[in-house]
């Protein structure tokens, strides 16, 4: 076929893998990224990447991985793509190994694997505790190779503003903004991939990086792309407190033997190391005998929340529990978990090899995202999505170390589909100049308007208000009255957005005007999350409503699809493809086999 | 008892060609503050200590946990990441300045593109033949993996270039980060296949011979990468390579 021209937005794992596959097939790629790609949020992934290589003789298999993932996701994910992901996983780990990712090794020189939550197998390949960073670097290096060969053009410090959609409803390119000179440009492409990550900044302080606003996904949602399962967000059980960010303490800490506990007497005045075993309550091991500290994240977060909020048993009666590694030899810790111990040490000033860490749950990940078909195309022809910004692989709860995998799989599958789509003729060739220019003018007008906003509201303060609503009312425990009130308050924030005063009037690297645009998009996406949660009267995976404490398959085994209207999101539903594994009750106090027998 | 307000002095510049100015801010003290949280407070209320409204300070940051390298700047005269610079450990007033060895874009943001260009010069990648499933990579002993992992944590943050006296307006020196990356790829069983090309790149003007052995780099590397060991090792490889070329008459 003739060379096609593609745009990839986002330089994390999904975007880089997508770029590599497109370039490898000989196509030209424009890679747009808000930050230099080597600094993308994928660097924050710590624990590892899953793949059933079965190096420990445990009888692991891609099918077992598939079953754990579907079960861990409480049966909300469409099963065929999850199966394809798990089948591809061992090959992907080998590929990364060939690219030079410095995975930890066994004494024989083979790849080492460790345990993670929601499985009984050693299935997680890891590079110390900075696996995401190490994989990102390997992909960055391969992209640089294609850049030198002339196939990839990078646009770093550029922001995606919107898709260019022609009269037939197909995506023909996108509008981007140079974040230094603030100029706005139209770029054409035969297909556009959004690999723009999750919307964590909507929750403010959490484990996400500063650019994880979901702004690109929200922009195309407002242009007609459907957003699926927005109400499913993951709160990670173990993060350290901070005034700017709640830094992740990887699940691998528990995978390597870390134990979560509180003093039996919350007001025990002794230092944690001098509290004897008999005076400690290991509540996860107590409540979930089969999986213990390695229950999936939704379960662990709810348990910690219950201990601290409902039972008042957190350390000192507050919102904190211990994550304890002190029983593991320091040398082993350094080799397998060095990166995260360093973070705790540097940011808290306490050595976690010697003293238990104090942790609490924090917003971490969105299972929901742009609706895509099994080939990663959104409902807008020519517009694709992969990585955390899609909704495909994790159902109602993501298992740890499946996200890096889903990014790479999404990038690969998406590339094949984009190439097929471009060869198919739809959206091919030069779009009429008028289509590009009309969308460019729409964005220029928007930024002209932002530039002269001179009301009393500070945009960053509004963003913080949004985050506090989301953290308090749309997090681990959800109640319908509070969700309805949250939606009303967000509508209030949208009205106040109109009265923002832009604090920076310059036309050079004006971060404030970008933020004002992003804030609008975050507010729209926040309503999708809240309304999806309000409507879903059941408990499933990370979505927990005490008023409706059980999973309700007859009523709610279905995918939420939000469609934008000027009045707000309209929710529609579609059935989940459960063709491979029939849904069964999900419980972690007993083994999967036993659970299946009793359900 | 610490003061409830923190004084922060920031060196600002609206555009690359504008002259710099200092602005002073007074920021409420919160528990567990780092330099990023100071800047976030200023963003929400961009008013100087003497009550004059100003624009929010512009800076670069991303992961906020010292794995991305974005927020590198000079804090109280010492280069490092703003995120891991904890307020309680800093003398006040706290001064923030952009790095000096890279062109300033605005306020605390500098242009570090040269570092990524340098990675191209030394072919900092493994020359795999494709991304299809071709089985496992080469075996490595745990000791080899651990040594290489220490090198592979380089965030391209620029601290080592900032403190290197050989990096200045009159020099083309490639700097410690890229030299250490060349070492990383030269030890890898597949990366070795391009070893000679990397060594030749380091023999170009601005290459390894420009190192003045000041050893400042290794002192400031936030990831404790053994940069001087890398420079020593690559110096040895370059010498051997030069000798071999000489003997073979090529």
Q: Which of B117, B136, B178 to mutate to test binding with chain A, by most A CBs within 10 Å of its CB? A: B136
Rounded to whole angstroms, the maximal C-alpha distance in chain A is 75
The 10 Å CB-count burial string (b at 16+, else e) for A195-205 is bbbbbbbbbbb
Q: Which of B25, B29, B86, B149 to mutate to test binding with chain A, by most A CBs within 10 Å of its CB? A: B149
Calculate the average pLDDT of chain A. Answer: 96
Crossing angle of helices A511-535 and A480-497, in 10° steps, is 150
Nearest to B125 among A38, A43, A145 (CB): A145
**What integer pLDDT is reported at residue A335 of this predicted model?**
93
B58 touches chain A (CB under 8 A): yes
Task: Tell me: pLDDT of B1 over 70.
Answer: no
Catalytic residue among A297, A527, A540, A586: A297
CA-based nearest residue to A381, from A212, A214, A87, A171? A171
Query: B170: which 2 tokens?
Result: 């009159």
Distance, CA of A350 to CA of A353 (rounded, Å): 9
CA of A334 vs chain B CAs: smallest distance (Å): 11
Task: Tell me: pLDDT of A594 over 90.
Answer: no
| Over residues B13-39, mean pLDDT | 95
Task: Tell me: pLDDT of B2 over 60.
Answer: no
Nearest to B65 among A94, A102, A245 (CB): A245
- Whether B120 sits inside 8 A of A144 (CB atoms) is yes
**What integer pLDDT is reported at residue A426 of this predicted model?**
60
pLDDT, one tens digit per residue, over B122-138 is 999 999 999 998 999 99
Count CA atoms closer than 13 A to A588's CA, side-chain side. Answer: 26
- Whether B116 sits inside 8 A of A144 (CB atoms) is yes
CA of A513 vs chain B CAs: smallest distance (Å): 11
DSSP helix/strand/coil, A492? helix
> Facing residues of A275 across strands?
none
Nearest to A506 among B14, B64, B155 (CB): B14
CA-based nearest residue to A428, from A153, A159, A9, A27? A27
Q: Tell me whether residue A302 is one of the annotated catalytic residues.
A: no
Q: Which of A94, A100, A154 to mutate to test binding with chain B, by most B CBs within 10 Å of its CB? A: A100
B32 touches chain A (CB under 8 A): yes
Are B80 and B106 in contact by the 8 Å Cβ rule? The answer is no
In chain A, residues with a C-beta closer than 8 Å to the C-beta of B116 are 36, 38, 144
B49 touches chain A (CB under 8 A): no
A206 touches chain B (CB under 8 A): no
DSSP per-residue letters across B45-96: S-B-TTS-B-PPPP----SSSSSS-TTEEEETTEEEESTT-BGGGS-SSEEE
Q: What is the ipTM of this complex?
A: 0.97
B185 touches chain A (CB under 8 A): yes
Global model pTM greater than 0.95: yes
- Whether A44 sits inside 8 A of B66 (CB atoms) is no
**Cα–Cα–Cα angle for B67, B71, B73, nearest 5°?**
125
CA of A245 vs chain B CAs: smallest distance (Å): 7
pLDDT band at B3 (very low <50, low <70, confident <90, very high): low
Are A8 and A195 in contact by the 8 Å Cβ rule? The answer is yes
Are A595 and A584 in contact by the 8 Å Cβ rule? The answer is yes
- Which chain A residue shows the shortest CA-CA distance from B15? A508
**N- to C-terminal Cα distance for chain A?**
53
In chain B, residues with a C-beta closer than 8 Å to the C-beta of A102 are 145, 148-149, 152
| Over residues B211-239, mean pLDDT | 98
- Whether B119 sits inside 8 A of A144 (CB atoms) is yes
Distance, CA of A444 to CA of A450 (rounded, Å): 10
Task: Tell me: pLDDT of B78 over 70.
Answer: yes
Residues of A (492-511) whose Cβ lies below 8 Å from B: 503-506, 508-509, 511
Measured in degrees and rounded to the nearest 5, phi and psi for residue B215 equal 65, 20
- Whether B105 sits inside 8 A of A145 (CB atoms) is no
A486 touches chain B (CB under 8 A): no
| Over residues A564-576, mean pLDDT | 97
In chain A, residues with a C-beta closer than 8 Å to the C-beta of B40 are 244, 460
pLDDT, one tens digit per residue, over B97-107 is 999 999 999 99
Residues of A (362-381) whose Cβ lies below 8 Å from B: none
pLDDT, one tens digit per residue, over A360-381 is 999 999 999 999 999 999 999 9
- Whether A460 sits inside 8 A of B191 (CB atoms) is no
Altogether, the residues listed in chain A come to a count of 599
- Whether A141 sits inside 8 A of B124 (CB atoms) is yes
CA-based nearest residue to A587, from A71, A42, A236? A71
Nearest to B142 among A107, A461, A512 (CB): A107
- How many CB atoms neighbour CB B217 within 10 A? 26
Please name the residue ranges forming H helices in A536-583: 553-556
In chain A, residues with a C-beta closer than 8 Å to the C-beta of B126 are 98-100, 138, 141-142
A39 touches chain B (CB under 8 A): yes
CA of A262 vs chain B CAs: smallest distance (Å): 23
pLDDT band at A132 (very low <50, low <70, confident <90, very high): very high
**Mapped to the 3 state alphabet, what secondary structure does B90-136 carry?**
CCCCEEEECCCCCCEEECCEECCHHHHHHHHHCCCCCCCCCCCCCCC
Distance, CA of A171 to CA of A75 (rounded, Å): 32
Whole-Å CA distances, B92 to A296, A420, A514, B2, B184: 44, 60, 32, 11, 40
- Whether B70 sits inside 8 A of A39 (CB atoms) is yes
- Whether B137 sits inside 8 A of A98 (CB atoms) is yes
pLDDT, one tens digit per residue, over A429-461 is 778 889 999 999 999 999 999 999 999 999 999
Query: A32: which 2 tokens?
Result: 């747009």
**What integer pLDDT is reported at residue B250 of this predicted model?**
59
Residues of A (66-125) whose Cβ lies below 8 Å from B: 91, 94-95, 97-100, 102-111
* Number of inter-chain CB pairs under 8 A, A vs B: 193
Task: Tell me: pLDDT of A486 over 90.
Answer: yes
Residues of A (506-535) whose Cβ lies below 8 Å from B: 506, 508-509, 511-512
pLDDT, one tens digit per residue, over B182-219 is 999 999 999 999 999 999 999 999 999 999 999 999 99
DSSP helix/strand/coil, A8? strand
**What integer pLDDT is reported at residue B123 of this predicted model?**
97
Distance, CA of A432 to CA of A164 (rounded, Å): 11
- Which chain A residue shows the shortest CA-CA distance from B124? A141
- Whether A109 sits inside 8 A of B70 (CB atoms) is no
Task: Tell me: pLDDT of A599 over 80.
Answer: no
A142 touches chain B (CB under 8 A): yes
Residues of B (186-245) whose Cβ lies below 8 Å from A: 188, 190-191
pLDDT, one tens digit per residue, over A161-171 is 999 999 999 99
pLDDT band at A2 (very low <50, low <70, confident <90, very high): low
| Over residues A194-210, mean pLDDT | 97
- Whether B34 sits inside 8 A of A243 (CB atoms) is yes
B69 touches chain A (CB under 8 A): yes
Burial of A567 (0-12, 13-18, 19+ CB in 10 A): exposed
Distance, CA of B2 to CA of A589 (rounded, Å): 49
B47 touches chain A (CB under 8 A): no
Measured in degrees and rounded to the nearest 5, phi and psi for residue A128 equal 55, -135
**What integer pLDDT is reported at residue A274 of this predicted model?**
96
Crossing angle of helices B176-187 and B227-248, in 10° steps, is 70
B14 touches chain A (CB under 8 A): yes
- Whether A508 sits inside 8 A of B125 (CB atoms) is no
Compute CA A209 distance to the chain's CA centroid, rounded to the nearest angstrom: 11
Nearest to B32 among A103, A243, A461 (CB): A243
Distance, CA of B190 to CA of A101 (rounded, Å): 12
Q: Regarding beta strands A369-370 and A383-385, do their DSSP bridges make them parallel or antiparallel, or are they unpaired?
A: unpaired
In chain A, residues with a C-beta closer than 8 Å to the C-beta of B135 are 94
**What integer pLDDT is reported at residue A427 of this predicted model?**
54
Nearest to B31 among A97, A138, A243 (CB): A243
């Amino acid at each position: 076929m003739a060379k096609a021209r593609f745009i990839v937005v986002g330089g994390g794992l999904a975007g880089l893998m997508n770029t590599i596959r497109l370039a490898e097939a000989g196509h030209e790629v424009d890679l747009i990224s808000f930050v230099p790609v080597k600094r993308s949020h994928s660097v924050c992934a710590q624990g590892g990447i899953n793949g059933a290589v079965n190096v420990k003789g445990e009888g692991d298999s891609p099918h077992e991985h598939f079953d754990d993932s579907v079960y861990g996701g409480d049966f909300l994910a469409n099963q065929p793509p999850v199966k394809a992901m798990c089948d591809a996983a061992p090959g992907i780990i080998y590929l990364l190994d060939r690219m030079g990712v410095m995975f930890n090794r066994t004494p024989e020189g083979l790849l080492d694997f460790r345990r993670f939550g929601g499985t009984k197998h050693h299935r997680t390949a890891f590079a110390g505790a900075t696996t995401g960073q190490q994989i990102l670097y390997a992909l960055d290096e391969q992209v640089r190779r294609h850049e030198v060969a002339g196939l990839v053009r990078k646009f770093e410090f550029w922001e995606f503003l919107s898709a260019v959609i022609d009269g037939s409803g197909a995506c023909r390119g996108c509008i981007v903004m140079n974040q230094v000179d603030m100029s706005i440009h139209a770029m054409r492409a035969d297909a556009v991939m959004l690999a723009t990550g999750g919307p964590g900044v909507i929750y403010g302080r959490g484990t996400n990086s500063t650019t994880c606003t979901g702004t690109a996904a929200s922009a195309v949602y407002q242009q007609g792309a459907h957003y699926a399962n927005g109400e499913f967000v993951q709160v990670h059980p173990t993060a350290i407190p901070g005034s700017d960010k709640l830094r992740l303490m990887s699940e691998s800490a528990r995978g390597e033997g870390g134990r979560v506990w509180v003093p039996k007497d919350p007001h025990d005045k002794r230092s944690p190391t001098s509290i004897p075993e008999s005076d400690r309550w290991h509540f996860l091991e107590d409540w979930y005998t089969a999986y213990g500290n390695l229950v999936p994240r939704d379960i662990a977060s709810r348990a910690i929340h219950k201990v601290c909020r409902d039972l008042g048993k957190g350390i000192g009666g507050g919102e904190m529990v211990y994550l304890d590694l002190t029983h593991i030899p320091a040398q082993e810790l350094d080799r397998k978990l060095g990166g995260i111990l360093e973070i705790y040490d540097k940011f808290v000033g306490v050595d976690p090899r010697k003293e238990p860490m104090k942790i609490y749950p924090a917003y971490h990940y969105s299972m929901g995202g742009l609706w895509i078909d099994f080939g990663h195309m959104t409902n807008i022809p020519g517009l694709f999505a992969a990585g955390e910004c899609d909704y495909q692989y994790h159902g109602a709860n993501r298992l740890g170390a499946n996200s890096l995998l889903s990014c790479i799989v999404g990038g690969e599958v998406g590339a094949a589909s984009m190439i097929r789509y471009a060869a198919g003729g739809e959206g091919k060739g030069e779009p009429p100049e008028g289509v590009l220019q009309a969308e460019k003018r729409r964005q220029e007008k928007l930024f002209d308007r932002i530039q002269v906003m001179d009301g009393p509201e500070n945009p960053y303060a509004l963003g913080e208000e949004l985050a506090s609503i989301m953290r308090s009312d749309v997090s681990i425990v959800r109640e319908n009255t509070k969700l309805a009130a949250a939606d009303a308050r967000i509508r209030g924030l949208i009205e106040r957005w109109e009265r923002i005063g832009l604090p920076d009037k310059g036309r050079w690297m004006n971060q404030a005007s970008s933020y004002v645009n992003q804030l609008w998009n975050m507010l729209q996406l926040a309503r999708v999350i809240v309304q999806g949660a309000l409507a879903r009267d059941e408990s499933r995976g990370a979505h927990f409503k005490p008023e409706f404490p059980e999973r309700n398959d007859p009523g709610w085994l279905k995918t939420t699809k939000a469609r934008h209207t000027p009045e707000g999101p309209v929710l529609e539903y579609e059935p989940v493809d459960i063709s491979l594994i029939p849904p069964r009750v999900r419980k972690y106090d007993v083994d999967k086999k036993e659970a299946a027998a009793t359900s | 008892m610490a003061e409830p307000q923190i004084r922060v002095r920031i060196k600002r510049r609206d555009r690359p060609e504008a002259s710099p100015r200092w602005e002073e801010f007074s920021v409420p003290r919160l528990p567990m503050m780092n330099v990023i949280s100071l800047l976030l407070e200023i963003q929400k209320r961009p008013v100087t200590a003497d009550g004059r409204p100003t624009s929010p300070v512009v800076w670069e940051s991303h992961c906020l946990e010292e794995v991305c390298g974005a927020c590198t700047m000079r804090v109280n005269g010492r280069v490092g990441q703003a995120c891991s610079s904890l307020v309680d450990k800093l003398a006040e007033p706290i001064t923030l300045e952009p790095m000096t060895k890279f062109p300033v874009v605005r306020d605390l943001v500098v242009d570090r593109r040269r570092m990524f260009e340098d990675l191209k010069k030394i072919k900092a990648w493994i020359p795999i033949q494709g991304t299809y499933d071709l089985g496992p990579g080469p075996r490595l002993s745990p000791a080899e993996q651990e040594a290489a992992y220490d090198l592979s944590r380089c965030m391209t943050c620029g601290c080592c270039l900032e403190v290197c006296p050989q990096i200045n307006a009159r020099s083309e020196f490639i700097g410690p980060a890229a030299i250490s990356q060349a070492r990383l790829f030269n030890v890898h069983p597949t990366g070795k296949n391009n070893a000679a090309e990397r060594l030749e790149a380091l023999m170009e003007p601005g290459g390894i011979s420009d190192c003045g052995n000041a050893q400042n780099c290794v002192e400031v590397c936030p990831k404790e990468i053994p940069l001087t060991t890398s420079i020593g090792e690559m110096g040895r490889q370059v010498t051997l390579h030069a000798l071999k070329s000489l003997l073979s008459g090529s």
